Amino acid sequence: MNGLPDFDDARVLVVGDVMLDRYWFGDVQRISPEAPVPVLKVNRVDERPGGAANVARNIAALGAHATLLSVVGGDEAGACLEGLLKEHVNLNAILHRDASISTIIKLRAVARHQQLLRIDFEKPPSHEVLHAVLRDFEAQLLLADVVILSDYGKGGLAHIAQMIEMAKKAGKQVLVDPKGENYGRYMGATLLTPNRSEFREVAGSWQDEAELEAKAQRLRRELKLAALLITRSEEGMSLFREEGVQHEATYTREVFDVSGAGDTVIATLAVMLASGADMVQAMRVANRAAGIVVGKLGTAVATRNEIEGGMNKGDEGRTARQTDWEK
């Protein structure tokens, strides 16, 4: 495909678990006298939207319109996350506050671009606030071209099966970034985007491409999906549909940080589909976008200009990476 379609009118509804990604950057020059652990002297703190919030800001970074629907706690982290999202043009965040929980925080301690430690703070939202999210989902559904359900397994998508059914009845394409072993809850979605490790957890290991395709197509048929996209790290991406399988090789980027690359993939897929592209075209552009964000530190976005710049330069080769992308 030559160039990118117009994203100005593309509208994507994102529902799922949001979190605050907090980074402590510093230097390690000594070992603690209290225990054999490094002492990080923090010199900078950075905060970024994570989880489904990172999906939404990736959509906005491409120039499309994102509506984010989720739950946060009635705390400082929730207020911080809400403030960060307001900085993004084309991003409408509808965040329900649940005073009984703490906003999910992923705290990373980083020295010389290496993570020393990650600390997670989380508690599932209440049933009452999840019912309120479901009502808002119904109201926002008709305004969207494509729906993303970003499942981080934190409890924010307890009604995901009902959401998929509602979206199907409204004639909307539903893209799901899955989590855990119970894929039955995603029955009837348009597209699932597991990474290699997530797919192996559900389908088991494989010896060759033929066995992988057989397992992928079996799962796709069982769940009544239009397509299954497996992101395969250094092996690129594979799109499985009724018509067969389409592979896309990884574009060269020096891999710096894989955090949030899966968010970029599903965001780009949704924007492309909402703009009239087919799934193969959407996968190719999402693959390029992923190659951009893994060259950045932490949860990041790929802009339209960056993707178009890469398309103009063409394929620059390959870079191997043995770890799957984090969502």
110 DSSP β-pair partners: 25, 115
Identify whether 79 is part of a domain. yes
Question: What are 39-84's pLDDT values in tens digits?
Answer: 999 999 999 999 999 999 999 999 999 999 999 999 999 999 999 9
Residue 121 within any structural domain of the chain = no
Mean pLDDT along residues 301-327: 64
The enclosing domain of 73 has a CATH number of: 3.40.1190.20
The residue length of the chain stands at 327
Residues 6+ away with beta carbon under 8 Å from 227: 190, 191, 192, 220, 239, 240, 241, 279
Whether 323 is covered by a domain: the verdict is no
Number of Cβ within 10 Å of residue 308's Cβ equals 14
pTM over cut 0.85: yes
In this structure, is residue 306 part of a structural domain? yes
List residues with catalytic annotation: 263
Summary mean pLDDT of the chain? 90
- Residue 293 placed within a domain: yes
Does residue 181 sit within a domain? yes
Domain range spanning residue 188?
Answer: 11-18+50-103+126-313
d(CA 304, CA 311): 11
Q: Does residue 220 form part of some domain?
A: yes
Q: Please indicate, yes or no, if residue 319 is contained in any of the structural domains.
A: no
* Domain count across the chain: 1
- Residue 299 has which token pair? 């949860």
- Bin 16: left if φ > 0, else alpha if -120 < ψ < 50, else beta: left
DSSP one-letter string for 3-71? S----TT-EEEEEE-EEEEEEEEEEEEEE-SSSSSEEEEEEEEEEEEEEHHHHHHHHHHTT-EEEEEEE
